[in-house]
Homo-oligomer: A and B are copies of this chain.
Amino acid sequence: MNRSALISVGNELLCGRTVDTNAAWLGGRLFAMGVRTASVHLVADETADIVAALQAAAGQADIVLVTGGLGPTDDDLTRNALAEYLGVELEYHPELAGRIEAFFSTRGLSMPARNRTQAYVPKGAEPIDNPCGTAPGILYQTEHKLIALMPGVPSEMKAMCEASVLPQIRRRLGGPVIRSANLRCYGAGESSIAQMLGDRMRRGRNPLINCTISAGIITLQMIASAPNERQAEFLLAEQRAELEKILGPLVFGTGEQTLQDVLGRLLSAQNKTLAVAESCTGGLVSKLLTDVPGASQYFNFGWVTYSNKAKIEQLGVCTDLIEQFGAVSEPVAKAMAQGAARKARADCAIAITGIAGPSGQTEQKTVGLVYISVLNNEKCQVHRFHFPNAGRELVRLRAAQTALNLLRLELTI
CA–CA, A302 to B304, complex, Å? 4
When distances are taken between beta carbons in the complex, the residues of chain B under 8 Å from A285 are: 283
Question: Copy number in this complex?
Answer: 2
- Asked if A301 CB lies within 8 Å of chain B CBs, one says yes
Closest Cβ of chain B to A376, distance in Å, is 20
Residues of chain B within 8 A of A305, CB atoms compared: 300-302
Q: Which residues of B contact A281 (CB under 8 A)?
A: 287, 290
Asked if A302 meets B295 with Cβ closer than 8 Å, knowing A17-B28, A23-B42, A27-B15, the reply is no
CB-nearest residue of chain B to A25: B16
Are B293 and A287 in contact (CB-based, < 8 A)? no
**Are A19 and B15 closer than 8 Å at their CB atoms?**
no
CB-CB under 8 A from A53, the residues of chain B are 39
Closest Cβ neighbor of A344 among chain B residues: B310
Is A126 interfacial (CB-CB < 8 Å)? no
Would you give the 0/1 interface string for A164-204, flagging 1 where the beta carbon is closer than 8 Å to chain B?
00000000000000000000000000000000000000000
Listed residue (A24, A284, A309) with the most chain B CB atoms within 10 angstroms of its CB: A24
Give the CA-CA distance A27 to B8 in the complex, in Å. 15
Report the minimum CB–CB distance from A208 to chain B (whole Å). 10
**Set of chain B residues within 8 Å of A85, measured between Cβ atoms:** none
Q: Identify the interface centre among A14, A24, A37, A307: most chain B CB within 10 Å of its CB.
A: A14
What is the bound-complex CA distance between A246 and B302, given in angstroms? Answer: 42
Name A's interface SS: mixed
| Cβ contact within 8 Å between B287 and A283 | yes
Q: CB-nearest residue of chain B relative to A219?
A: B17
Q: Is A134 on the interface with B (CB-CB < 8 A)?
A: no
Q: A302's contact among B26, B282, B289, by CB below 8 Å, is which?
A: B282
B300 near A306 (CB under 8 angstroms)?
yes
Is the C-beta of A106 less than 8 angstroms from some C-beta in chain B? Answer: no
Which residues of chain A (357-394) have a CB below 8 Å from chain B?
A: 357-359, 392-393
Contacts of A268-296 to chain B: CB distance below 8 A = 276, 278, 280-287, 289-291, 293-296
Question: Given A31-B16, A302-B282, A39 and B38 touching (CB < 8 A)?
Answer: no
Q: How far is the CB of A304 from chain B (nearest CB, A)?
A: 3
A26-62 near B? 1/0 per residue, CB < 8 Å: 1111110000111111111000010001001000000
Partner-B contacts on A (CB < 8 A): 13-21, 23-31, 36-44, 49, 53, 56, 210-212, 276, 278, 280-287, 289-291, 293-296, 299-307, 309-310, 313-314, 343-344, 357-359, 392-393, 396
In the complex, besides A282-B291, A290-B306, A301-B310, 11 extra interface pairs with C-beta distance below 8 angstroms are A13-B40, A16-B31, A17-B211, A39-B41, A276-B304, A278-B283, A283-B284, A283-B290, A286-B304, A293-B359, A301-B307
